[in-house]
Structure 1
Amino acid sequence: MRILLWHVHGSWTHSFVQGGHDYLIPGPPDGIGLAGRPWAASEVRLSEVDASGADIAIVQRVEELSRVPVGIPVVYLEHNTPAAPAQEHPLAGWDGTIVHVTHFNDLMWDCGSTRTVVIEHGVADPGPLYTGELPRAAAVINDPVRRGRIVGTDLLPRFEPIDVFGMRTEQIGGLGDHELPVLHRELARRRVYVHPARWTSLGLSLLEAMHIGMPVVALASTEAVRAVPAEVGAISTNVEELASAARDLVADPDLAQEKGKRAREFVLARYGLDAFLRNWDALLKEVIG
């Protein structure tokens, strides 16, 4: 299958391009292309692509709809939560298919009569890297300064000592999302992963931490209540309960190791790569007809 898609969400795309198809990613001036990623994909100019060159397009921003060459079927992928549960999706009433990455997002967006499908995240397994040798917590937060309370930046001092890694210029830590192997190794050295987001879609960094084998303490909001069972660490809307659980895990490496093992077992079963790719293949074949 020849799939046209823009490089928008690097971690999601990293998982998606593991499927063995031909992936066509617009480069400058039509997109950012591979941006240095070692993906098995081709960087193309849109002027070189027509209906005979691509079987389907995955669009992730509304403005991309008008840029898809005529004759190529389209699926719209929505990564984000709405600003509020009553927000109407820009494609409400569209005659295509919107794919949500979480059931929470599907529940909260008002998509009107547009068909919606949920295909949950899948993660390319980085392996059981966890050592927990550093008695500290860790978190990964994109744009921690700009996004503030949305991602729980204000809660971070409650979990000290904590090392925070980011993926933008405002980052508190120092690793970019193109350096995932380095990030994974650094996370694996910390004893517990903290997920303090109040209102975001399900962060892939949380699922990656669980794949690594880290125990997790998470704010019980949005899709985290489905993705983080209590036995892998702690999940609550009570921040002091979470901070206490994090302290207990930092102080007890054997407990942290046990809960991290459960986290890895759970996430491999729920968010493994095979099911993710299989579900996408089924949907794309259906849309193509």
Structure 2
Amino acid sequence: MNILLWHVHGSWTTAFVQGPHRYLVPVLPDRGPDGLGRARTFDWPPSVVELSPDELRGADIDLVVLQRPHEQDLAERWLGRRPGRDVPAVYLEHNSPHGGIPDTRHPMADQDRVPIVHVTHFNRLFWDNGRAPATVVEHGVVDPGHLYTGELERAAVVVNEPVRRGRTVGCDLLPALSAAAPLDVFGMRTEGLADHLGLAGERCRTFELPQARLHAELARRRVYLHPVRWTSLGLSLLEAMHLGMPVVALATTEVVRAVPPGAGVLSNRPEALAEAARRYLHDPAAAETDGRQARRAALERYGLKRFLDDWQHLIEEVAR
């Protein structure tokens, strides 16, 4: 099949395009948000093909995967076909709702031709999906391998734009947590975080690394810290578990399903998270043992094969 999707979420798309189809990705001269084309920092197979809007007009397309509300209009303009009417389509919702929770209405809630596909059961429950068919295909991750060494007595945090996103991603919790375990924060636009939090020296370092180096660097840290209050289940958390890292995380959103007992410590008490991070720093054997359990759980629940199989079943159902 030929599947049209925009390059919106690099990590998720990297797993999705490992399937057996041909993936058509719009590209624009400026490679802006509506035409990023192929990824520059992720490893995508040759089956991912860039097409301009003019090339899309005559393309044979079996399914459109929408991910943002305005993509319906983009698809209609560029294809000359309306998703859900002239060509099969699904709407992939990456995010948890924001706003008047739990009454936030999904932008696709007032139609029934395009199913909404959520990435977690939590998200499906908390969005008001209206009369739209709603289902869940849980995340899958390309296995980076068991790379964990834990040689650095530091906690790894992965979050993009922590200063802007603030309390949503637990930015305000980092000063107290850094007193228990010095932090290495990885992600886009993390510069200025330490000054913003009033943290000096080794208590909080920031890194913006290419994807090819990120996993190996994460795996050198003793523990993975996930202080996020409210967001969809982060793929970085699942990747850390695949790496064999023990997890210390807030017990919010879908995390309580993703991280089983023995794979780390979950709590909504920041003091408990600080104590757990401190314990892992001082007990590398416990960190390695729990990290192995985290990897086993991630492979079982968020493995690539299950993810692709689930998507294949859905694609066949929608596109027939």
- Normalised TM-score (structure 1): 0.96
Would the aligned equivalents of 1:155 and 1:196 in 2 still touch at CA under 8 Å? yes
Report if aligned partners of 1:149, 1:198 keep a CA contact under 8 Å in 2: yes
- Tell me, in whole angstroms, the C-alpha distance in 1 between the residues paired with 2:187 and 2:270: 22
Structure 1 residue 169: Cα displacement: 6.2
Q: Is the 8 A contact 1:229 1:235 kept in 2?
A: no
Which structure 2 residues correspond to residues 65-214 of structure 1 after superposition, within 5 A?
65-68=72-75, 69=79, 70=81, 71-83=86-98, 84-95=101-112, 96-160=114-178, 161-168=182-189, 170=191, 172=193, 173-176=206-209, 179-214=210-245
Deviation at 1:52, TM superposition (A): 5.2
Can you list the C-alpha shifts for 1:217-242, whole angstroms capped at 9, x where unaligned? Answer: 01001111111123111001111011
Identify which range, 268-277 or 230-239, moves more after superposition: 230-239
Q: Are 1:141 and 1:167, in contact at CA under 8 Å, matched by a contact in 2? A: yes
Contact 2:223 2:247 in 1 (8 A): yes
Return the alpha-carbon distance in structure 1 between the equivalents of residues 2 and 132 of structure 2: 25
Q: Is 27-36 or 70-79 further displaced after alignment?
A: 27-36
- Give aligned pairs, total: 287
Displacement of 1:51: 6.9
- Corresponding letter in the other structure for 2:238: L
Contact map agreement 1:137 1:159 (CA 8 A) in 2: no
Q: Which residue of 2 aligns with 1:18?
A: 18
C-alpha deviation, 1:92, in angstroms: 0.6
Which letter does structure 1 place at the counterpart of 2:229?
A: R
User: Counterpart of 2:207 in 1: which secondary structure?
Assistant: coil
Match of 2:286 among 247, 255, 273: 255
SS of 1:62's partner is coil
- 1:32 counterpart residue number: 36
- How far apart are the structure 1 equivalents of 2:53 and 2:92? 19
Aligned equivalents of 1:100, 1:94: Cα separation in 2: 16
Alignment partners' CA distance in 1, 2:304 and 2:11? 13
Contact 1:81 1:201 in 2 (8 A): yes
Specify the alignment match of 1:54 in structure 2: 61
Structure 1: which 5+ runs fail to align? Answer: none
Cα distance in 1 for partners of 2:187, 2:120 equals 23
4+ long deviations beyond 4 Å: 169-172
Conserved 8 A contact 2:190-2:207: no
| Aligned residue identity for 1:193 | Y
Contact 1:124–1:273 (CA<8 Å) still a contact in 2? yes
User: Is 1:282–2:305 an aligned residue pair?
Assistant: no
Q: Residue 227 of structure 1 aligns with which residue?
A: 258
For the pair 1:43 / 2:43, whether they are aligned, the reply is no
Question: What SS does the corresponding residue of 2:17 show, helix, strand or coil?
Answer: helix
Structure 1, 45-54 or 18-27: larger mean CA deviation: 45-54
State, as a whole percentage, how many aligned pairs show the same letter: 57
Q: Cα distance 1:109–1:171, how it changes in 2: closer, same or farther (>3 A)?
A: farther
Q: 2:302 aligns with which of 242, 247, 271?
A: 271
CA-based RMSD of the aligned residues comes to 1.4
TM-score by length of 2: 0.87
Q: Which moved more, 1:112-121 or 1:48-57?
A: 48-57
1:26 deviates by 0.3
Cα distance between partner residues in 2 of 1:142 and 1:281: 30
Distance in 2 (CA, whole Å) between partners of 1:119 and 1:51 is 30
Query: In structure 2, do the counterparts of structure 1 residues 22 and 274 end up closer, same or farther at CA, with 3 Å as the change threshold?
Result: same
For 2:160 and 2:192, the matched residues in 1 are separated by 7
Aligned counterparts of 2:189 and 2:36: Cα–Cα separation in 1: 16
